Structure 1
Amino acid sequence: MRGCRYQACRHEPLVVVYEDNVVDRNKKRWRRNNEELPVHLRRPEVVRPSRPLSVDQWNQFAWESSQASLVPCENCGRTFAPDRLEVHQRSCKTPLPGAPRKLALQQVN
C-alpha cells in the first residue's frame, strides 16, 4: 500500500515528464501538419524561450509568435493561418482597381 508520503514525493517529477511528453507530441503534430502544406505556406518552427518569463512577457511572446505565423491573402491582404488561407481564397474576390490595399500585404512585400 502506498502512503501519502510516497505519492507526494513522486508527484512533481511526473508533472514535468508529462509536460515534456505533451510538448513533444504537439511539436510532432505541428511538424506533420506543416509538412503537408504547400511549400509557400510552410512556416518556421517557433522556439520556446530559454529563460523563464513572467505572465506578461509570455503573453507578448505568444502574441508575436502567432502573428508571425499568419499568411496574407494575395487579393485582400487579410492574414490567416496557412491551412485556412486556401478556404478563404475560394471566396475572396480580386480587389477592384484603385481600391486601397491592406497594410499587412504591403509590409510582407
Structure 2
Amino acid sequence: MRTVAMPADANAYGDIFGGWLMSLMDSGAGLVAARRAKGRAVTVAMDGVEFHKPVKVGDEVSVYAEITHVGRTSMVIATDAYRRERHSEEDEIVTSAKFTFVAIDDAGKPRAVDI
C-alpha cells in the first residue's frame, strides 16, 4: 500500500500520528490475510510495534506485509512501513510490527485458513 501523509494526520509539529500509521499497517496486513484466508480475516493482536523514525506531512508512506506463520485458523504477518521524502529517491523504515489475524466464517466464528 502507498499513500501520502497529509496535515489532518499530523500533530502540531507536523509529525504523523502513530495511530494513523498503525491503522495503515493493519489495513495492509489485512489485505494479505484476506487473500491467504480466501475470505474474511480479523485482527486479533498486534505485537512488537517499533517506531524507528517519524513520518512528516508530505512524506510518501509505503507498507509491506509478509506472512511469517500460518496456523489452523490464524496467521502472523510481519509488516513494515517506510517513508520517502516527497522529492527524494531513498526510503527508510519508520515502523515495524507483527499482526495476528484469524480467519472467520459468516457467523464470525474462527475457521480453518485452508478452505
TM score, norm. by length of structure 2: 0.26
TM score, norm. by length of structure 1: 0.27
* Larger Rg belongs to: 1
Whichever structure has more helix as a proportion of its residues is 1
Whichever structure has more strand as a proportion of its residues is 2
